[in-house]
Structure formats: structure tokens, C-alpha cells
Amino acid sequence: MNPFTPQTLATLAKTHATPLWVYDASTIERQIEALRPFDVIRFAQKANSNTHILKLMKRCGVMVDSVSLGEIERALAAGFTPGVHDGHAEIVFTADLLDRATLARVADLGVPVNCGSIDMLDQLGSVSPGHPVWLRINPGFGHGHSNKTNTGGEHSKHGIWHTDLPLACERLRANGLKLMGLHMHIGSGVDYAHLQEVCGAMVELVAVVAVQGLDLQAISAGGGLSIPYQAGEPQIDTAHYFSLWDAARQQIADLLGHPVVLEIEPGRYLVAESGVLVSEVRATKTMGNSAFVMVDAGFSDLMRPSMYGSFHGMEIIHADGSAVPGAFQDTVVGGPLCESGDVFTQGEGGVVLTRPLPVAQVGDLLVLQDTGAYGASMSSNYNTRPLIAEVLIEDGLPRLIRRRQTVAELLALEAV
């Protein structure tokens, strides 16, 4: 989907140049509202870690999950408070390992660590006795929109293997750590059949923790809620999603004999539909029977199609915002990078596909939809292309929330 009028995008492209990320605050707020039944909504900031987006989340009462030292610093810069207050932590650090710098920083800040390996418990215990921890469990199965986003099962590197939970409890106790909760995130892309299984696994895992003589205050459903990228794909029924988790939470509360906080940890669901990537058509050509449209954005900006074969809706508009009339043609859309995989119309495994698009001319704008999640946050400097600018529209007012990087800034890193 595209929350913006063509005129708005045309004006912003003129003001800030292309390629350009544009986000809509009201779409993010709408998505947050749909998850309000959960006690805690924790934004997986890897999906979009711009500090202005994080500030918006904070204003809406959303907490944050950080997966690197850099993301922790972003959360702090956005005004999130470290530590645990009234049983809640505004920032949780989730990882499968602790590098030395991050270990020192989380110990210093008192940021709870969601541990995905038993080594982390020993390392944390040795420097920060009494530190609050979550245990991230791999329940032995997973699912995801591609093999690369499946985060459960024996081929996934994530989490503590479910049969190692008693051992994890023992190490946690031996290290004098404080258990806050159990967490599972088994992949991106929900299917409800699987969800029942996940909820059931959570209840069983909490029972194991109780047998080990430990208590906990919270469970986390992880993230993974999808959005409709293509026409015909359904919107998640968040009420149904909540009801399944709420039933599991109730069973767990009965088991433990006290109320239990239910957290959810979405990334994509909160931000994907809020954002578009605006690019300019810089060349058109025909090669054999293939029509190509070449735009100034590449996989250094939006990596998802090249990495996963992900589908993003596309629109073409004239530079003044007026519509490009009819006559669709099957089109390959390519970017500027010196690499043949720099194509936005491709399927999984890198197979080049076409998209029916109106016939574009140089100077037209090509808009890639639903790119608010895992767009800017996955960009790179490949081919020495500076990171591009980001604009957030709030109450009708566009605001630059990241300026464009310069080549000089990239070169400065090497002036050693």
C-alpha cells in the first residue's frame, strides 16, 4: 500500500531529490492500536531504527527490542530509559552472543538481556550478578517467508534449544541472574496452525521452568506478524492472534499462581506499510523481448527483492505527480549497481521476473511500496553509494528525519 498522494511524493522528490524514503506516522499509529490488547508492545527496531521513528514509538507507549550495541545507543538517543522499573524494561537486548563491548554496556546500563545461548548466562553472571534476563527458546520448529527468515528448528542459529532449558535454568541460578521471562520468535510470517503449536510450546516450557523451582513474570510472543505485500494477501486478524496468546497466558498464570505479562515484539507489522521508496527513472531500454526500466535506487537501498525475492508493489507517476496513462507492459525494473542481481522484479533464488507497469519515461518516478520495514535499516554503502535521505510525514507535515550521507563522509573513515 501507499499512504501518500502522488502529488505529495512528487513534491518531496523535488525538494529532497531521489532516491528517498518517505514514512507516514498515522499508519504506524494505526498498526500500534491494533496490538493494544497486548500488555507490552515491544518494537523490534531492526525493522526501522531511525531515532525519530523510535521517538514516535515511545510517545505511543511502545517499548523497544535492540539487537546490537548500536541499536541500544539508538534507543537511548530516542529517550528510552534503561533498566527495569515497576517490573517493566523499556529496552531489552536480544542476541545469541555477547561481544565484549556490548556485555560491558548492558551490565553498566542494567538493560535486560534476552539470552539465546547458555554461554551468555555465564558471561553475564561473571560481570553482572543479579542481572535481569529473558531466555529465548528455540522450540524445535519454525516458519518464515523464506529460509532466511525462519528462526526456529535445528537448522536455525537462534535461541536455546528447548531440551536445554533445565540446563539454562541451572546456569541462570548458579550465576545469580534474575529471570524475567520466556521468549520465542520462530520466524517472520504468521500462520495460525503454527501459532497454536507455538502457544502450546510456551506453556510446556514455562512448566519446565516451574519444575526447576524458578518463577517468571512475563512471556513474549516474539514478532513475525506479516502484512499484505501483494493484492489478495490477508491482513492479520490481530484479535484472533491475541486470543490464542491470551489463552496460553491464562494457562501459565494458573500454573504459576499469579498474573503474567504478555508481550509482543513486532517489527514489520508496525512500520512496513507506512513507508515507500521513491526513485527516478533514469533510463529505459529493450533487450530482445524484455523491456527494462532503470531507476536510481538499487539493492544498496532496498535489499529485500535481491535477498529474499520479496515482492513490493510498484507505481509509476510523472514527476509533477500526474498519472501515467494505461498501456501496461511487462517490465523488468533494475537499479544502478554494477551487479546483475540489482533487480527489483525478481523471485526467490534470483530468477528475474517482469511486472506489468505503465510505459515509463525518463524523469518519471517509480514508487516501491511497503518498504517501511527492513528498507533503510538494511541499506549498505555497496558501490560507494551514500545512504539516502528519510522523510516522516506527521499531521500532514513532512520532516527530514535523516539527511543524505555524502561520499566525503565515507572517505573520511579511511583518512587514517
Least Å from the CB of residue 48 to ligand LLP: 10
Only segment of 30-38, 74-82, 261-269, 345-353 that touches ligand LLP (CB under 6 A): 261-269
Phi first, then psi, for residue 179 (nearest 5°) are -80, 125
Burial of 288 (0-12, 13-18, 19+ CB in 10 A): exposed
Q: Does 369 bind ligand LLP (CB under 6 A)?
A: no
280 annotated to bind ligand: no
Of 94, 156, 279, 346, which lies in the binding site for ligand LLP, with binding defined by CB under 6 A?
Answer: 94
Only segment of 83-91, 223-231, 381-389, 403-411 that touches ligand LLP (CB under 6 A): 223-231
Distance (Å, rounded) from C-alpha 44 to C-alpha 36?
16
Of 82, 139, 152, 222, which lies in the binding site for ligand LLP, with binding defined by CB under 6 A?
Answer: 222
> Which CB, 6 or 159, lies closer to ligand LLP?
159
Least Å from the CB of residue 264 to ligand LLP: 9
Answer whether 360's CB lies under 8 Å from 384's CB. no
> Which CB, 6 or 132, lies closer to ligand LLP?
132
> Which CB, 58 or 145, lies closer to ligand LLP?
145
Q: Which of 18, 35, 4, 98 is nearest to 224 (CA)?
A: 35
Answer whether 261's CB lies under 8 Å from 220's CB. no
Find how far residue 373's CA is from the centre of its chain.
5
Q: Which of 196, 149, 177, 165 is nearest to 44 (CA)?
A: 149
Of 3, 125, 132, 224, which lies in the binding site for ligand LLP, with binding defined by CB under 6 A?
Answer: 224
Take residue 138 and report the three cell numbers written for it. Answer: 528455540
If phi > 0 it is left, if psi is from -120 to 50 it is alpha, else beta; for residue 96 that is alpha
Q: Does 266 bind ligand LLP (CB under 6 A)?
A: yes
Whether 338 sits among the annotated catalytic residues: the reply is yes
Of 74, 171, 304, 312, which lies in the binding site for ligand LLP, with binding defined by CB under 6 A?
Answer: 304
Q: Write out the binding residues for ligand LLP, residues 27-56 only, by CB under 6 A.
A: 44, 47
Distance (Å, rounded) from C-alpha 160 to C-alpha 167?
10
304 annotated to bind ligand: yes
Least Å from the CB of residue 392 to ligand LLP: 19
Distance (Å, rounded) from C-alpha 261 to C-alpha 144?
26
DSSP letter for 153, please.
Answer: S
By three-state DSSP, how is residue 183 classified? strand
> Which CB, 47 or 297, lies closer to ligand LLP?
47
Residue 187 CB neighbour total at 10 angstroms: 26
266 annotated to bind ligand: yes
Phi first, then psi, for residue 252 (nearest 5°) are -70, -40
Angstrom distances, CA of residue 133 to CA of 49, 84, 169: 23, 11, 11
Q: Which of 110, 91, 87, 107 is nearest to 99 (CA)?
A: 107
> Which CB, 114 or 175, lies closer to ligand LLP?
114
Of 25, 225, 316, 337, which lies in the binding site for ligand LLP, with binding defined by CB under 6 A?
Answer: 225
Q: Does 71 bind ligand LLP (CB under 6 A)?
A: no
Q: Between 100 and 139, how does the x/- string for binding to ligand LLP read (CB under 6 A)?
A: ----------------------------------------
Q: Write out the binding residues for ligand LLP, residues 140-179 only, by CB under 6 A.
A: 149, 151
Angstrom distances, CA of residue 69 to CA of 102, 158, 164, 199: 5, 18, 27, 30
Q: Which of 4, 27, 24, 50 is nearest to 376 (CA)?
A: 50
Of 16, 268, 312, 385, which lies in the binding site for ligand LLP, with binding defined by CB under 6 A?
Answer: 268
Tell me the number of residues near ligand LLP by CB under 6 A: 19
Would you tell me which residues interact with ligand LLP (CB under 6 A)?
44, 47, 65, 94, 149, 151, 185, 188, 222-225, 265-269, 304, 374
Residue list for the binding site: 224, 265-268, 304, 308, 339, 374
Residue list for the binding site for substrate: 268, 304, 308, 339, 374
Catalytic residues: 338
